[in-house]
């Protein structure tokens, strides 16, 4: 099992999305700009995300997932679901609105409809993303991928009529794409599963089995992390000035089931850390001590203290991250929070010497 150095810093994936994003998207829809113009803008935003992570001192970076967003700069499902569904032939066609949280009955996601088998030959674009980000990055690059549970749970199933079978085919698809990532030289892979808390025990147990299948047999030198959270969604007619909320924080937090995933570690919200004390074993835990649901920039000492309170967690098992993606936050706030993570690493690392 590969291990990161104590207090390694990393992000969850999404970076602050520019305010011009949706306005420019509308110009493309209206024919005033070409789709290529928008793609160029997304590429420049990706480069900015890389630069800001690096100047903040983050150890393992992403491209900010900028190119995954269309028609909505805030909502994570747009980048976690629609982006990948659109690549799979059996999900082509119209979508249907689907409620995604019991906390707000007015929140719906345009969910795709599965009308045929999910084949494992589809290229999900992960290798191209890795190569594009790596061409500009000077730090190690991590590629994030939506897990089989979320991909299946939010979709409408008109083909399988069996949640587990649907997840299994998603797992086979992910497995093939992860193998291609490994062959391309990617050493850092993250699977995102934010819907475990709101789901049944049996559904999560099945998802754990599928994730284990998806990562089975990958090279031993790859860091395989799983991000578990309870949502990071904003709602309302005007998203500006709003931040994300934990819309999936209903039900039992299933750390015992999560820790059966045969990965190298987990990235979680910092206040969920106690759930892992009896189940983590010798895996690593990325403590999301920077809170993306708060618009205030933490100090390095605040982040360090949020980690110190979990005295049972050994330094060699501790990573530093944020509670979820930065997509809701203004750029200067996201950058400040990134710097706080690096400052916390410096503070905590002094005790190792």
- For the segment 102-113, the average pLDDT, to the nearest whole number, is 81
Work out the pLDDT band at 106, boundaries 50, 70, 90: confident
Checking if the pLDDT of 280 tops 90, the result is yes
Q: 238 pLDDT band (50/70/90 cuts)?
A: very low
Instruction: Write down the pTM of the prediction.
Output: 0.95
**Nearest residue to 269 (alpha-carbon basis) of 247, 295, 287:** 287
Closest CA to 188 of 345, 63, 7: 63
- For the chain, give the percent of residues with pLDDT over 70: 94
Whether 333 has a pLDDT exceeding 50, the answer reads yes
- Mean pLDDT over 213-235 rounds to 91
User: How far, in Å, CA of 83 to CA of 211, rounded?
Assistant: 20
The 10s digit of each residue's pLDDT in 181-211 is: 999 999 999 999 999 999 999 999 999 999 9
Mean pLDDT of all residues in 260-264: 97
Helix then strand then coil, % of the chain, to nearest 5: 40, 15, 45
Query: How far is the CA of 32 from the CAs of 26, 27, 40, 207, 321, in angstroms?
Result: 9, 5, 15, 44, 40
Does position 72 have pLDDT exceeding 70, yes or no?
no
pLDDT at 2: 73
**Contact by Cβ (8 Å): 327, 76:** yes
């Amino acid at each position: 099992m590969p291990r990161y150095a104590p207090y390694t810093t990393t992000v969850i994936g999404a970076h602050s999305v520019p305010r011009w994003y949706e306005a420019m998207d509308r110009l493309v829809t209206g024919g005033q700009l070409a789709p290529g113009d928008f793609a160029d803008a997304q590429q420049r935003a990706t480069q900015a995300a890389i630069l800001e992570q690096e100047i903040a001192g983050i150890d393992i970076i992403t491209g900010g997932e900028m190119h995954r967003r269309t028609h909505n700069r805030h909502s994570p499902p747009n980048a976690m679901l629609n982006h990948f569904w659109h690549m799979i032939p059996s999900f082509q066609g119209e979508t249907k609105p689907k409620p995604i949280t019991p906390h707000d009955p007015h929140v719906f996601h345009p969910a795709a409809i599965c009308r045929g088998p999910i084949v494992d030959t589809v290229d999900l674009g992960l290798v191209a993303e890795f190569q594009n980000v790596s061409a500009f990055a000077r730090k190690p690059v991590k590629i994030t991928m939506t897990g089989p549970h979320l991909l299946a749970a939010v979709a409408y199933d008109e083909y399988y009529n069996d949640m587990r079978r649907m997840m299994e085919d998603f797992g086979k698809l992910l497995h093939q794409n992860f193998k291609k990532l490994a062959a391309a030289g990617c050493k850092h892979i993250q699977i995102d599963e934010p819907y475990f808390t709101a789901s049944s025990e049996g559904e999560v147990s099945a998802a754990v089995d599928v994730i284990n299948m998806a990562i089975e047999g990958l090279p031993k030198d790859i860091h395989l992390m799983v991000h578990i959270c309870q949502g990071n969604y904003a709602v309302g007619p005007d998203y500006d000035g709003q931040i994300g909320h934990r819309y999936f924080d209903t039900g039992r937090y299933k750390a015992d089931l999560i820790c059966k995933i045969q990965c190298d570690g987990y990235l979680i919200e910092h206040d969920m850390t106690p759930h892992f004390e009896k189940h983590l074993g010798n895996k690593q835990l990325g403590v999301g001590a920077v809170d993306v649901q708060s618009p205030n920039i933490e100090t390095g000492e605040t982040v360090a203290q949020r980690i110190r309170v979990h005295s049972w967690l050994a330094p060699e098992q501790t990573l530093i991250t944020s509670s979820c993606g930065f997509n809701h936050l203004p750029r200067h706030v996201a950058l400040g929070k990134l710097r706080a993570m690096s400052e916390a690493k410096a503070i905590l690392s002094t005790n190792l010497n």
